[in-house]
Chains A and B, each alone.
Chain A
Amino acid sequence: MESHESQSYGALWKIWGVLLVLTAIMVFVDAMGLPRVLLLVILIAAMLTKAFFISSQFMDLKHEKLAVGISVAFSILFFGALLFALIAPDGVAVLHGGR
């Protein structure tokens, strides 16, 4: 197996703290009644940041070859976003306008 410096336990719990703070921020912002687009931007940015921390620190992607992390992130995020982006317009058309 690969050998590398063991992640110090303290560093891991620091990340835990960061994730909790981010979560708290997200919940509070959600209750603030912001304009829709601003809310979406903030929530999605925070969500992706949390995802980044979990994958790079907890799942150790930062110690793997960069190609692995990029491939994994690209595959899920790009195709996930593509699915949503190309399917959602039909949601608007079909469900709002009726056929």
Chain B
Amino acid sequence: MTQVATAETPVHEKQSFLSRYVFSTDHKVIGIQYYLTGGLMGVLGALLAGLIRLQLTWPTTQWNLLAKIFPTGMEGGFMKPEFYLALVTMHGTIMIFFFVSLALVSGFGNYLIPLQVGARDMAFPFLNMLSYWTIVPAILIAAASFFVEGGAAGSGWTAYPPLSAVPSAAPGSGLGQTLWLLAVALFIVSFTMGSLNYVTTVVNLRAKGMSMMRLPLTVWSLLIASIIALLAFPALTAAAIMLLFDRHLGTSFYLPAGLFIAGKVLPNTGGSPLLWQHLFWFLGHPEVYVLILPALGITFDVLVPFARRPAFGYRVTVYCLVAIAFLSMVVWGHHMFVSGMNPLVGEFFSIGTLLITIPSTIIGVNMIASLWGGKLRLTSAALFAIGTISFFGVGGMGGLFLGNAAADIQLHDTAFVVGHFHFMIGGVTMLAIFSGSYYWFPKMFGRKLSELLGKLHFWMTIVPFYGIFATMHFYGLAGAPRRYYNLSQYAFLEGVRWMPIVITVFAFTLLAGQLLFLVNLVRSLWAGEKAEANPWEATTLEWSAPSPPPHGNWGDEEPLVYRGAYEYGNPDAKEDFVPQTVPALKVPAHS
């Protein structure tokens, strides 16, 4: 087995452009690669959302420009149903796997973990590089699926059979679905490689003195998220393999007898779509916690230095993160309450789901309490972090309704669900990506993002976001189903016709607001105010490295850690913060 240089002093010959910026094994470069790639995919996913909104709001309008861009899907200027389903499917798939996962977990995770634990790089840098370059073909394949015959997959990001299992079922069920499966399979391989690195690095490569309870909450949350990802993804791999078999090899893992599709009775017998649902959601539910836990960890890391006081309840937060992670692995059935699943099993899932409320609430309270009595510095990063608490709380309440099996009978597959999960994996995670961006941009690039643009960006994000997804909850309560391409034909929605219009107006405002961020990003890379090593006066280890850190992070001497991650407001110290690397006796006292 090749020994990979990790904690040894780095000695580097001059590197070519390719090996330095393209096939780099440096976790910082890989982290930025992931972040930018994820960001690009986020833009793509947002554009797909724009198209979805156009269809849902004005289904009878003839969009001639769009017909030119999408000649098959928008033939004659009107959206075909299969194109709508493809949009919905790919919007979900791209946002979950290729935006949030990449930017938040892979991007920030790769960048921050070695820095925050005091290591020179990840445990296995070569594997790290491979993980990024596995994602690139995944993305290309997913994007290509739009252009193949039949278009992209249309079975939702959840890919339920028989729609996904029978290639002749719908236009997107052919090559589009196969490519979807391939892209997701490559994603799983990539993410597994990354998670292996994360766990190993946090366990084995922490600097001397960096005990587990001195780790920043970002690292804890990424560690825990990686563990549940490693435990949960294999089930989806197994399920996807069985789906490929059903599609191409004539098996019947998910196909029951008597299916009549595309004009003929299928010969399959003996399977059930319920099996797919179980295996998919065994991953699907932990997956959303893989996305949200790092968001919560990052929120703590951003809130604390801008409140100038220690995180409230650090230890309890760690225990709650672990509790949420464990519970998240045993509640997958709450996505299946109306599937015909055994109702006793359903009740077990319901109880477990509602139990998750407890550690989640404790974490939310700890976040608020971490602001209590603090000297608030309301920078853009801080605003986004506070917004995260808001989304977590409000969106989380929807979970109380959905977790109740009886209530879910009414709410399942309505816009209520869409509103709920957008708050959680759209809102909480996206705001965390932004707060993390404003916070760590100086570390990554040696310059600060514009605060003015940042604050504008904040308000143009949080207000429209509420407008869209809070309204969507009520739209769902009124009975509006999800994944329907044309709701204008239903009389029972007559009283709430104004809701999709309001949602769409806010949606386009939200999209426009993100332009502020893009402009800020690009401008600041070249013309942003230069930043020193520790512009926010923070305590965690990454701030004791230069901005940006060199290859190997720490120069000649690896850091030694003497204290916890959040020592702010120490009354005996001269400054109002004490970095983790400062030994006990050297804390400068008041004279």
Whether the complex brings A and B within 8 Å at their CB atoms is answered yes
Chain A residues with Cβ under 8 A from B486's Cβ? none
How many of chain A's residues touch chain B, expressed as a range? 10 to 19
Q: Does B329 contact A (CB under 8 A)?
A: yes
Chain B residues with Cβ under 8 A from A99's Cβ? 256, 340
| Inter-subunit contact B278/A90 (CB<8 Å) | yes
| Inter-subunit contact A93/B340 (CB<8 Å) | yes
Min CB distance, A41 to chain B, in Å? 24
| Inter-subunit contact A79/B278 (CB<8 Å) | no
Q: Does B144 contact A (CB under 8 A)?
A: no
Tell me the nearest residue of chain B to A94, going by C-beta.
Answer: B272
Q: Does B522 contact A (CB under 8 A)?
A: no
Tell me the nearest residue of chain B to A76, going by C-beta.
Answer: B231
B304-332 residues with Cβ-Cβ distance < 8 A to A are 329-330
Min CB distance, A77 to chain B, in Å? 12
Chain A 64-99 per-residue mask, 1 if CB under 8 angstroms from chain B, else 0: 000000000001000100110011011101110001
Chain A residues with Cβ under 8 A from B282's Cβ? 83
Min CB distance, B355 to chain A, in Å? 16
Interchain CB contact (< 8 A) of B278 among A75, A86, A93, A95:
A86
Q: Does B342 contact A (CB under 8 A)?
A: yes
Interchain CB contact (< 8 A) of A75 among B231, B256, B272, B279:
B231
On whether A89 and B345 interact (CB within 8 A), knowing A83-B282, A94-B272, A94-B340, the answer reads: yes
- Interface residue total, chain B, C-beta cutoff 8 A: 19
B268-286 residues with Cβ-Cβ distance < 8 A to A are 270, 272, 274-275, 278-279, 282
| Inter-subunit contact B278/A87 (CB<8 Å) | yes
Min CB distance, B462 to chain A, in Å? 38
| Inter-subunit contact B342/A93 (CB<8 Å) | yes
| Inter-subunit contact B333/A86 (CB<8 Å) | yes
On whether A95 and B231 interact (CB within 8 A), knowing A82-B330, A87-B275, the answer reads: no
| Inter-subunit contact B235/A95 (CB<8 Å) | no
Tell me the nearest residue of chain B to A87, going by C-beta.
Answer: B278
Interchain CB contact (< 8 A) of B341 among A75, A79, A82, A90:
A90
Please report whether the interface of chain A is mostly helix, strand, loop or mixed according to DSSP: helix
| Inter-subunit contact A90/B274 (CB<8 Å) | yes
Interchain CB contact (< 8 A) of B345 among A83, A86, A95:
A86
Chain B residues with Cβ under 8 A from A94's Cβ? 256, 272, 274, 340
| Inter-subunit contact B342/A89 (CB<8 Å) | yes
| Inter-subunit contact B274/A79 (CB<8 Å) | no
On whether A95 and B270 interact (CB within 8 A), knowing A79-B231, A83-B282, A90-B345, the answer reads: yes
Cα–Cα distance between A97 and B279 once the two chains are bound (Å): 21
Tell me the nearest residue of chain A to B235, going by C-beta.
Answer: A83
Cα–Cα distance between A79 and B275 once the two chains are bound (Å): 16
Min CB distance, A71 to chain B, in Å? 10
Chain A residues with Cβ under 8 A from B340's Cβ? 90, 93-94, 99
Cα–Cα distance between A8 and B114 once the two chains are bound (Å): 40
Cα–Cα distance between A29 and B235 once the two chains are bound (Å): 32
Cα–Cα distance between A46 and B436 once the two chains are bound (Å): 52
Interchain CB contact (< 8 A) of A95 among B272, B329, B333, B348:
B272
Min CB distance, A26 to chain B, in Å? 25
Tell me the nearest residue of chain B to A97, going by C-beta.
Answer: B340
On whether A79 and B272 interact (CB within 8 A), knowing A93-B340, A94-B340, A99-B340, the answer reads: no
Chain A residues with Cβ under 8 A from B342's Cβ? 89-90, 93
Tell me the nearest residue of chain A to B348, going by C-beta.
Answer: A86
Chain A residues with Cβ under 8 A from B274's Cβ? 90, 94
Chain B residues with Cβ under 8 A from A75's Cβ? 231
Chain B 134-153 per-residue mask, 1 if CB under 8 angstroms from chain A, else 0: 00000000000000000000
Interchain CB contact (< 8 A) of A79 among B329, B333, B348:
B329
Binding site for B on A (CB under 8 A): 75, 79, 82-83, 86-87, 89-91, 93-95, 99
Give me 17 other A-B pairs in contact (C-beta within 8 A), A94-B272, A94-B340 excluded.
A79-B231, A82-B330, A83-B282, A86-B278, A86-B345, A87-B275, A87-B279, A89-B342, A89-B344, A89-B345, A90-B274, A90-B340, A90-B345, A91-B272, A91-B275, A94-B256, A99-B340
| 4 A-B pairs with the lowest CB-CB distances in the bound complex, closest first | A89-B342, A87-B278, A94-B272, A90-B274
17 of the cross-chain contacts (CB-CB < 8 Å) are A79-B329, A82-B329, A82-B330, A83-B235, A83-B279, A86-B348, A87-B278, A89-B342, A90-B272, A90-B275, A90-B278, A90-B341, A90-B342, A91-B272, A91-B275, A95-B272, A99-B256
